[in-house]
Amino acid sequence: MKVTVVGAGAVGATCADNIARKELAEELVLLDIKEGVSEGKAQDIMQSAALLGFDTRITGSTNDYSKTAGSKVVVITSGLPRKPGMTREELIGVNAGIVKGVAENILKHSPDAIIIVISNPMDTMTYLALQATGLPKNRIIGMGGALDSARFRYQLSQHLGCSPADLNALVIGGHGDTTMIPLIRFATWNSVPVTELLSAEQQARIVADTMVGGATLTKLIGTSAWYAPGAAGAAMVESIIRDEKKLFSCCVSLEGEYGQKDICLGVPVTLGKNGWEKIIDFKLNADEQALFDKSAAAVRAMNDVLKTL
């Protein structure tokens, strides 16, 4: 089993490190356009094997896609990171060309690969990858909702004083500060609805803090986050490689589900050996559906920018 991570920056290297530690692949390829970066980080991770006890073989390569041949899953993190004050929309022009080129080169050597897109703006880059490759829709998956849901669980845990691992909570919609929708009505702490445990004020604060989770970190550290995004990508790889069929919020192609079509947007899906396998209908109420439709309109406007490139 082979897995490839394209982009050896902070997110890509962290994703690769998580994949190696969990031994999700016999072989892991780390690819980057910058000379020496992927090779150096691959060696660095490999040198931790003796200390951590994993056997995954990791190789780095500078833009040689032949090294990725036969990959089961490919994670695309390539592209410019978001800087303070920069919106994900502003990244479209540069990152569209990068993601399109990466996806096309990957499929030359791994025609059966399942592709996970992390590059921003993630919803639009996922849509672009689907349109550019013509792959079956179940093999193109955007990571955003998995990360946003982890941030949602973190915020909930801070108010509840509990382990995030004991919480079930999903964020749907776009992967943006104004387009994501934390579904607090469905969030539970070991089956107990959190709405029974938190005040209305706490619930509103948690939702608001979740929505600006990425921007908050960008302001604090001066660039996009990497630990949680890398871990989210690796968790998705794990569910696919091990056919776990776990429920994630992921950006996938909609064809009428949740009232939307011709768009890639975050919804609850199961991930298994075939990619995303089933969309779960959470039966949104009127207010939640209105927010979802508003999110879709914003993402669709970003997608329209692709037509001008």
> Which residues are CB-contacts of 151 (< 8 A; sequence separation ≥ 6)?
171, 210, 213, 214, 228
Domain boundary among 77, 110, 144: 144
Give the pLDDT score at 89: 64
Q: How many distinct structural domains can be found in the chain?
A: 2
Give the pLDDT score at 87: 64
Domain boundary among 112, 129, 144: 144
Number of neighbours of residue 287 by Cβ within 10 angstroms = 9
Q: Domain of 122: which CATH number?
A: 3.40.50.720
Q: At 34, which amino acid appears?
A: K
* pTM of the predicted protein model: 0.96
Give yes or no: residues 101 and 190 share one domain. no
Q: Cα dihedral sign for 244, 250, 253, 257? A: positive
Domain holding 65, by residue range, is 2-144
Show which residues are catalytic.
175
Give yes or no: residues 169 and 260 share one domain. yes
Give the pLDDT score at 94: 83
Give yes or no: residues 217 and 173 share one domain. yes
Cα–Cα distance measured from residue 31 to residue 38, given in angstroms and rounded to the nearest whole number: 6
Give yes or no: residues 191 and 50 share one domain. no
Cα–Cα distance measured from residue 81 to residue 12, given in angstroms and rounded to the nearest whole number: 12
In 3-state terms the chain splits into helix, strand, coil percentages (rounded to 5) of: 50, 20, 30
Q: Domain of 261: which CATH number?
A: 3.90.110.10
Domain boundary among 144, 168, 192: 144
Per-residue pLDDT of the chain (309 residues; tens, 9 = 90+): 999 999 999 999 999 999 999 999 999 999 999 999 999 999 999 999 999 999 999 999 999 999 999 999 999 999 876 666 766 567 788 899 999 999 999 999 999 999 999 998 999 999 999 999 999 999 999 999 999 999 999 999 999 999 999 999 999 999 999 999 999 999 999 999 999 999 999 999 999 999 999 999 999 999 889 999 999 999 999 999 999 999 999 999 999 999 999 999 999 999 999 999 999 999 999 999 999 999 999 999 999 988 887
Give yes or no: residues 118 and 176 share one domain. no
Give yes or no: residues 43 and 103 share one domain. yes
Give the pLDDT score at 84: 67
Using alpha carbons, list the distances in angstroms from residue 57 to 19, 27, 30, 91, 166. Answer: 11, 5, 11, 33, 33
